[in-house]
């Protein structure tokens, strides 16, 4: 895939450019740089959209895509590896459908946060979703650290800023919940932060008890406002603004005119409502994905990218208690994975790959599957309570991510871990590199942003794209 850059002096690296170093030396003003940045994105011929599947809680790498059958039993666990459709790639026996589609995948078994995080869902979620290391406040406040207006924006919001959808569709969508809601600790990193509310991802809410019930709060007309009155008067934006603030119990922020206009457009656009109407999908397609809120969310993600939404992030949700309902498998790791988590993921993710391929969308849609952490290589977790079947604790030193579509060369493994999937052995991959790879795949090779005081900044100062394309 060709690289799209704004300037091409022979001695400049991509990192130097995206950090904003020296474009004054090239005779370019900031407006000219930003204008060329927009033209580069418009001329991009690779991936035009991205689906990120965020497996909140942290799945076990050694029990999924980085199995170690020759490791001692206290590490390798209960599952057996199976061959896949790609030579040299093995996976867990409980991922049979995805195994037959491994020729689409790039497997990254050496993702690491060592030295830059603390094994905490808050800090690690921020790191993986923004591509920025957690600052000192995460270490001081732990799970009490709140999302802040000055945080770095999520990858979703950065794409929304640099790759607007056009028309009435939002540039970024998140579903089926805010990450961390089930534990009552809303994770930083999933918001627009310093970019401002105009670039927040539109939230679609799901219901674990009613998997097919996916709702867009922004499409609900405020109480006391008739459809006729609402449809005929754009002056209701002030009421919408007040209502929006009342509805948002998690964050309080000033609503800008662009945010208000987007809300009004979503509420009045037939095209937007049709794109979000998952009930239009044939019954056999819905069943193929599976009767689970996360599975139906992946189907909604396909529907949205097909309509033209540039970035959709599915934040996997589950109940806080109960076997088989969370990737945070401190207890009964093998039972949770075998009985619920892996079968649901396997069915839904393989359906997504098939669906995109059959519709001719896979080459244009970049897919990233990642989590905020892995699990301890050694079986057993004191935090699991010591009763019942054993679990695995948090582990920041090594985990596995998957990428597919959007020009990714399928059937490859990039990097490797040691003999117990504990640490990278070759070509470690950082969250910065994952973020850079997504931006590059979308044709975004310059990440310049101008703050409210007119100061240019880069939205990703570290990390180069991984050589996965071709």
Q: What is the pTM of this model?
A: 0.86
Residue 42 included in any domain: no
DSSP state, 144? G
As a whole number of angstroms, the distance between CA 200 and CA 177 comes to 14
Place 258 in a pLDDT band, splitting at 50, 70 and 90: low
Residue 220 clears pLDDT 70, i.e. is over it: no
Q: What is the structure's pLDDT at 256?
A: 43
Arithmetic mean of pLDDT, 175-195: 92
Q: What is the structure's pLDDT at 382?
A: 84
Task: Please classify residue 180 by burial: count the beta carbons closer than 10 Å to its beta carbon, then call 0-12 exposed, 13-18 middle and 19+ buried.
Answer: buried
Residue 258 sits in the same domain as residue 182: no
Place 461 in a pLDDT band, splitting at 50, 70 and 90: confident
Residue 119 included in any domain: yes
Q: What is the structure's pLDDT at 445?
A: 84
Residue 255 sits in the same domain as residue 392: no
CATH code of 428's domain: 3.40.720
Q: Of 232, 249, 268, which one is at a domain's C-terminal end? A: 268
Place 280 in a pLDDT band, splitting at 50, 70 and 90: very high
Residue 224 sits in the same domain as residue 140: no
Is the pLDDT higher at 231 or at 199? Answer: 199
Q: Is the peptide bond before 442 cis (omega within 30 degrees of 0)?
A: no
Residue 247 sits in the same domain as residue 316: no
The two counts, helices (H) then strands (E), for the chain are 16, 18
Q: What is the structure's pLDDT at 224?
A: 59
Q: What is the structure's pLDDT at 319?
A: 76
Q: What is the structure's pLDDT at 14?
A: 41
Give 65-116 as a DSSP string.
TS--TTS-HHHH-S--EEE-SSTT-EEETT-HHHHTTGGGEEEEEEE--TTT
Place of tokens 């070509």: 427
Residue 175 sits in the same domain as residue 320: yes
Residue 334 included in any domain: yes
Residue 251 clears pLDDT 70, i.e. is over it: no
Range with the poorest average pLDDT among 82-86, 225-229, 316-320 = 225-229
Arithmetic mean of pLDDT, 225-234: 52
Is the pLDDT higher at 50 or at 25? Answer: 50
Arithmetic mean of pLDDT, 258-276: 72
Residue 250 clears pLDDT 70, i.e. is over it: no
For 365-423, how does the pLDDT look when each residue is reduced to its tens digit (9 = 90+)? 999 999 999 999 999 998 876 667 899 999 999 999 999 999 999 999 999 999 999 99
Q: What is the structure's pLDDT at 28?
A: 46
For 410-452, how does the pLDDT look when each residue is reduced to its tens digit (9 = 90+)? 999 999 999 999 999 999 999 999 999 999 999 998 899 998 8
Arithmetic mean of pLDDT, 306-322: 87
Is the pLDDT higher at 455 or at 19? Answer: 455
Residue 459 included in any domain: no
Long-range Cβ contacts of 239-242 (<8 Å, 24+ apart):
240/264, 240/267
Residue 225 sits in the same domain as residue 373: no
Residue 314 sits in the same domain as residue 438: yes
Number of structural domains (the chain) is: 2
As a whole number of angstroms, the distance between CA 441 and CA 356 comes to 17
Residue 197 sits in the same domain as residue 68: yes
Residue 129 clears pLDDT 80, i.e. is over it: yes
Residue 197 clears pLDDT 60, i.e. is over it: yes
Residue 328 sits in the same domain as residue 179: yes
What is the percentage of the chain residues whose pLDDT exceeds 70? 78
Residue 157 sits in the same domain as residue 247: no
Q: What is the structure's pLDDT at 165?
A: 86
Residue 430 included in any domain: yes
Question: What's the domain range around 256?
Answer: 220-268
Residue 417 included in any domain: yes
For 88-112, how does the pLDDT look when each residue is reduced to its tens digit (9 = 90+)? 999 999 999 999 999 999 999 999 9
Residue 361 clears pLDDT 50, i.e. is over it: yes
Q: What is the structure's pLDDT at 228?
A: 56
Residue 318 sits in the same domain as residue 355: yes
Contacts of 26 (CB under 8 A, 6+ apart): 7, 9
As a whole number of angstroms, the distance between CA 60 and CA 342 comes to 11
Residue 41 included in any domain: no
Average pLDDT over the chain reads 84
Residue 274 clears pLDDT 70, i.e. is over it: yes
Residue 235 sits in the same domain as residue 336: no
Phi, psi of 4 (to 5 degrees): -110, 110
Q: What is the structure's pLDDT at 168?
A: 84
Q: What is the structure's pLDDT at 185?
A: 87
Q: How many CB atoms lie within 10 A of CB 43?
A: 9
| Helix (H) / strand (E) containing 157 | helix 155-162
3-state secondary structure of 190: coil
Q: What is the structure's pLDDT at 384?
A: 72
Q: What's the half-sphere exposure (Cβ side, CA atoms, 13 Å) at 167?
A: 12
Residue 460 included in any domain: no
């Amino acid at each position: 895939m060709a690289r799209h850059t704004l300037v091409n002096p022979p001695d400049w690296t991509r990192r130097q450019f995206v950090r904003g170093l020296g474009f004054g030396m090239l005779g370019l003003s900031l407006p000219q740089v930003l204008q060329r940045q927009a033209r580069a994105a418009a001329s991009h011929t690779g991936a035009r959209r991205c689906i990120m599947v965020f497996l909140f809680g942290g799945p076990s790498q050694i029990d999924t895509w980085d199995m170690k059958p020759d490791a001692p039993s206290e590490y390798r666990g209960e599952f057996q590896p199976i061959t896949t459709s790609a030579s040299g790639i093995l996976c867990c026996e409980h991922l049979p459908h995805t195994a037959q589609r491994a020729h689409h995948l790039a497997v990254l078994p050496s993702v690491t946060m060592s030295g830059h995080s603390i094994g905490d869902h808050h800090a690690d979620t921020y790191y993986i979703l923004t591509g920025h290391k957690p600052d000192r406040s995460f270490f001081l406040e732990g799970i009490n650290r709140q999302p802040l207006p000055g945080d770095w924006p999520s990858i979703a919001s950065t794409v929304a800023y640099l790759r607007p959808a056009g028309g009435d569709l939002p540039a970024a969508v998140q579903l089926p919940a805010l990450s961390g809601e089930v534990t009552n600790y809303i994770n930083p990193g999933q918001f627009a932060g310093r970019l401002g509310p105009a670039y927040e991802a539109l939230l679609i809410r799901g219901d674990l008890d009613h998997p097919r019930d996916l709702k867009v709060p922004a499409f609900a007309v405020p109480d006391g406002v008739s459809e006729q009155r609402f449809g005929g008067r754009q002056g209701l934006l002030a009421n919408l603004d007040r209502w929006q603030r009342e509805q948002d119990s998690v964050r309080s922020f000033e609503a800008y005119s662009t945010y208000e206009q987007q809300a009004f457009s979503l509420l009045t656009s037939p095209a937007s409502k049709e794109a979000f109407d998952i009930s239009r999908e044939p019954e056999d397609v819905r069943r193929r994905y599976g009767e689970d809120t996360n599975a139906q969310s992946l189907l909604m993600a396909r529907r949205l990218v097909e309509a033209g939404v540039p970035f959709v992030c599915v934040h996997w949700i589950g109940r806080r208690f109960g076997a088989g309902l969370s990737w945070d498998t401190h207890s009964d790791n093998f039972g949770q994975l075998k009985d619920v988590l892996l079968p649901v993921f396997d069915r839904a993710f393989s359906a997504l790959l098939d669906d995109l391929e059959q519709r001719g969308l896979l080459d244009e849609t970049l897919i990233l599957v990642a989590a905020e952490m892995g699990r301890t290589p050694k079986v057993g977790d004191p935090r699991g309570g010591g009763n019942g079947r054993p679990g695995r604790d948090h582990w920041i030193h090594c985990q596995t991510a998957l990428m597919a579509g959007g020009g990714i060369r399928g059937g490859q493994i990039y990097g490797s871990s040691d003999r117990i999937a504990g640490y990278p052995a070759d070509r470690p991959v950082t969250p910065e590199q994952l973020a850079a790879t997504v931006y590059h795949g979308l044709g975004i090779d310059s990440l310049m942003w101008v703050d409210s005081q007119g100061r240019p900044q880069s939205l990703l100062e570290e990390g180069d794209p991984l050589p996965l394309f071709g």
